[in-house]
Structure 1
Amino acid sequence: MTDPILYRRQAAYNFWMTNKLYATCGQMSDAERKADRGAFFRSIHSTLNHLLFGDRIWMGRFTGRSHEHRGMGVDIYDDFGELEQAHRAMAAEIEAFAAGLTPEWLAGTLRWTNTTGTRTLERPRWLLVSHLFNHQTHHRGQITTLLSQSGLDIGVTDLPFMPDLGD
């Protein structure tokens, strides 16, 4: 089955990229971050909130720990500093979670009810942990595009060039 080292690497990458995102987004004014740019979640700020929303929902399902959210598409934090602090804490929580993954746990299934309470689903855990990281990559790509359109370059984002791989 799936080797947990893959998810440890993805968690480290998420931590690295979260720091890069916030460092770059911090160069913008609050109004610039919150401007509607035509993205699915409208603004950079709301897309960052959605990233945190997704992480919180899935980590809650994986760990049983409850995390505050207001529903899909609703900002959890209006204040950028609070959002950044919460997002960095979640990235660290994901790293700690990934450090404890085992092949046996990943081989199991997870049963959960969606956030609206209308559907109960069951899928392999390895698939859902993969989705957590895929979801992050998808929305970070949207944000890096919006940053680029605003004249800001986040820099290198390629996994093989992440510093301190420890290999």
Structure 2
Amino acid sequence: MISPSYCQTMARYNARMNDQLYNACATIPDQQRRTDMKLFFKSIHGTLDHLMYGDIAWLSRFMGKEDEVPEFGGILYPDFSELADTRKVWDQKIIDWADRLKQSWLESDFSYISKIDGTARTKPAWLLAAHMFNHSTHHRGQLTTALSQLGIDFGVTDLPFVL
């Protein structure tokens, strides 16, 4: 079981890592950010966009706004500047959500409908919150590998040394 303080820590770590990652990605020409690097979502831009989708989807559900979850597939933000600006907005929304989070919510079950396969699911809320943060860390790891292959230093990413 996780706690509100865990979510608050991860929300701040998430925002810090996203800021660091976007700063590194901003040094890459747009065409290179869109080049297929054999990542799961092909390009750096595609992976950044997928991360944005995941956070919008989960946080919208958690805030009771399931109707605001975008359809899955395709690029939500084709323009890097718009994607970067949206990222900052949603990182703050995640921090605000975590700061208001109650242990009782984490201990409850949470139901949602997947936009990927249309299936209704019920899972422990704490598990889904942990997944939201883990999902971001997972894909940021793919991006840091791609950046490393391009010779770009993205900085320290280890949680104990970042916050």
TM-score w.r.t. structure 2 length?
0.95
Structure 2: runs of 5+ lacking an equivalent: none
Q: What amino acid maps onto 1:36 in structure 2?
A: D
Task: Please list every run of 5 or more consecutive structure 1 residues that lacks an aligned counterpart in the other structure.
Answer: none
Alpha carbons of 1:67 and 1:19: their partners in 2 closer, same or farther (altered >3 Å)? Answer: farther
State how far apart, in whole Å, the 2-side matches of 1:8 and 1:111 are: 22
What is the distance in 2 between the residues matched to 1:117 and 1:154? 35
Secondary structure of 1:83's counterpart equals helix
1:33 aligned partner: 33
Does 2:75 match 1:71?
Answer: no
Assess if the C-alpha contact under 8 Å between 2:71 and 2:115 holds in 1: no
Give 1:52's aligned amino acid.
M
- Aligned residues of 1:70 and 1:76 also touching (Cα < 8 A): no
1:6-155 equivalences under 5 Å are 6-65=6-65, 66-67=67-68, 69-72=70-73, 74-116=74-116, 118-155=118-155
TM-score (norm 1): 0.93
Number of paired residues? 162
Shift of 1:69: 3.1
Contact 2:61 2:69 in 1 (8 A): no
Between the aligned partners of 2:77 and 2:3, the Cα distance in structure 1 is 35
1:2 aligns with 2
Q: 1:51 deviation in Å?
A: 0.2
Identical positions, percent? 40
- Further displaced range: 1-10 or 133-142: 1-10
